[in-house]
């Protein structure tokens, strides 16, 4: 219904039409002061205002290739709280995406939300020299700094729900600086409990609750039950690990950023395949075709449960199985051997120990007391306390120790 605008002699709805790109509507104020002018006021004079009422709506309407109108974008205000004295308002911007008008930004007095309603709309901030200085990949729940690819060959940072990757070319990728007093630099937690930390005192960096260990594997790649603290011996056989490797050529991504040529690698079990064989594999949700290569490793040897009393080939004590599934064609049963630092050691049921005793292999996976108090090539550990941490069904037990392998 048409209506008259008081004092202007104009009826509404008002339709101003032009056939060129000149200004269609201009509001001019000749006010010489510093206050806002001219003013365009959108006033919703409701007799029953309520939370979430909308006020004002500016639509940007265009035509599609089928001569149909569509809303390319729109913005409007709304009530958050209409309570007298605690009023809150909001502002929203919507855009058309795949044929549907979707919320892209909402702002209130308490927060601003981008991609409200989980509309799979990415967010990107450019710096002068980087098109992806800050980038959120909404559909993948990932946050990037300095790049927009998960490739660890590209410099930058990637955060997702479970992991963080930092890549830097030619310098330390991670640095920490505690400005004032001595104390903790990094704390490590498991299931909400602090398990260890890295601290600094003067010029000394300490790795607290420290246990140093290495990967190893049994000769037949089996995975039997091994009691924690069991003494292990090294074998004259190297561990072997294999990777699926794909060469990825330089490319330009959807945002115009050049992704340099790089390799994508995933650990695998060799299975029935051979080095050099072609293989198709998936890495971070993307499928690649590459070949199998052997990892370049010169320091990890296989091991066995110690079966030689006073053995000089003691390698450490069993810590745990590496339960990560490494294989595309089966799994590699890697284990972790604790070798230095504080840990526990499994003592033979017929042996009584006290703090300060040096321990050697008893020849059955357990420890016995060394005949003297000189640390030798056969020494496995030094007892810290005779407190029994755990007693096993065969009567053997574990005590706290420092490892000396």
Mean pLDDT, to the nearest integer, of 175-186? 92
Residue 42: the pLDDT is: 93
Residue 1 has pLDDT above 50, yes or no: no
Decide if 105 contacts 121 (C-beta within 8 A).
no
Q: Please give the mean pLDDT across all residues of the chain.
A: 91
Cα–Cα distance measured from residue 322 to residue 334, given in angstroms and rounded to the nearest whole number: 5
Mean pLDDT, to the nearest integer, of 154-160? 92
Residue 171 has pLDDT above 70, yes or no: yes
Give the rounded percent of residues in the chain with a pLDDT score beyond 70: 94
Residue 369 has pLDDT above 90, yes or no: yes
Do both 310 and 203 map to the same domain? no
CATH number at residue 308: 2.40.300.10
Mean pLDDT, to the nearest integer, of 122-148? 93
The residue from 160, 192, 208 where one domain ends is 208
- pLDDT tens digit sequence for 283-337: 878 899 999 999 888 899 999 999 999 999 999 999 999 876 555 555 789 999 9
Mean pLDDT, to the nearest integer, of 162-170? 90
Provide the CA 102 distance to its chain's centre, in angstroms: 29
First-to-last C-alpha distance (Å) of the chain: 92
Mean pLDDT, to the nearest integer, of 42-61? 95
140 φ, ψ (degrees, to nearest 5): -100, 0
Whole domain around residue 365: which residue ranges? 210-239+299-405
Do both 303 and 403 map to the same domain? yes
- pLDDT tens digit sequence for 230-239: 999 999 999 9
DSSP annotation of 139: G
- Which whole-number Å values give the CA distances from 145 to 99, 139, 248, in the listed order? 31, 17, 22
Beta bridge partners of 340: 212, 404
- pLDDT tens digit sequence for 16-44: 888 999 999 999 999 999 999 999 999 99
11 or 45: which leads in pLDDT: 45
Residue 152: the pLDDT is: 79
> Does residue 272 sit within a domain?
no
Mean pLDDT, to the nearest integer, of 199-215? 92
Total number of domains in the chain:
2
Residue 6: the pLDDT is: 55
Under the banding of pLDDT at 50, 70 and 90, the label for residue 227 is very high
* Token pair recorded at residue 18: 């032009």
Under the banding of pLDDT at 50, 70 and 90, the label for residue 254 is low
Mean pLDDT, to the nearest integer, of 93-109? 95
Residue 7: the pLDDT is: 53
Do both 233 and 377 map to the same domain? yes
Do both 327 and 364 map to the same domain? yes
> Does residue 170 sit within a domain?
no
Do both 220 and 367 map to the same domain? yes
Do both 318 and 195 map to the same domain? no
Do both 201 and 331 map to the same domain? no
> Does residue 224 sit within a domain?
yes
Do both 307 and 352 map to the same domain? yes
Mean pLDDT, to the nearest integer, of 362-375? 97
Do both 405 and 388 map to the same domain? yes
pTM (2 d.p.): 0.70
Do both 341 and 233 map to the same domain? yes
Tell me the torsion sign for CA atoms 184, 341, 318, 346: negative
Under the banding of pLDDT at 50, 70 and 90, the label for residue 8 is low
Do both 332 and 200 map to the same domain? no
């Amino acid at each position: 219904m048409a209506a008259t605008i008081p004092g202007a002699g104009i009826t509404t709805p008002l339709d101003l039409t032009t056939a060129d790109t000149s200004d269609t509507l201009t509001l001019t104020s000749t006010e010489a002061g510093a206050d806002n002018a001219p003013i365009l006021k959108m006033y919703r004079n409701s007799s029953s205002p309520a939370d979430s009422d909308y006020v004002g709506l500016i639509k940007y309407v265009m035509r599609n290739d089928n001569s149909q109108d569509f809303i390319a974008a729109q913005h409007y205000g709304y009530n958050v709280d209409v309570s007298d004295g605690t009023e809150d308002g909001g502002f929203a911007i919507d855009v058309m995406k795949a044929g549907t008008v979707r919320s892209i930004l909402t702002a209130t007095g308490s927060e601003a939300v981008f991609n409200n309603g989980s509309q799979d709309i990415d967010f990107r901030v450019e710096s002068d020299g980087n098109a992806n200085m800050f980038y959120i990949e909404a559909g993948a729940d990932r946050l990037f700094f300095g790049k927009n690819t998960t490739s660890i060959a590209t410099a930058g940072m990637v955060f997702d729900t479970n992991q963080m990757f930092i890549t830097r070319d030619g310098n330390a990728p991670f640095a920490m600086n505690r400005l004032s007093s001595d104390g903790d630099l990094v704390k490590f937690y498991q299931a909400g409990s602090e398990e260890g930390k890295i601290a600094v005192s003067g010029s000394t960096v300490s790795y607290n609750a420290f246990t140093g260990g290495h990967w190893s594997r049994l000769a037949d790649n089996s995975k039997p039950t091994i009691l924690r603290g069991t003494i292990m011996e090294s074998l004259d056989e190297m561990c072997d690990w294999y990777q699926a490797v794909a060469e990825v050529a330089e490319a330009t991504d959807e945002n115009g950023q050049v992704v340099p040529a790089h390799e994508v690698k995933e650990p695998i079990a060799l299975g029935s395949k051979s080095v050099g064989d072609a293989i198709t594999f998936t890495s971070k949700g993307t499928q690649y075709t590459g070949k199998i290569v052997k990892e370049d490793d010169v320091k990890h040897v296989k091991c066995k449960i110690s079966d030689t009393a006073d053995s000089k080939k003691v390698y450490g004590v069993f810590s745990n199985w590496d339960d990560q599934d490494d294989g595309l064609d089966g799994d590699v049963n890697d284990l972790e051997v604790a070798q230095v630092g504080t840990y526990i050691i499994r003592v033979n049921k017929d042996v009584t120990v006290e703090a300060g005793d040096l321990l050697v292999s008893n020849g059955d996976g357990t420890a016995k007391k060394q005949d003297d108090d000189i640390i030798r090539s056969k020494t496995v550990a030094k007892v810290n306390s005779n407190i029994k941490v755990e007693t096993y069904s065969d009567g053997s037990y574990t005590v706290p120790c420092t490892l000396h392998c």
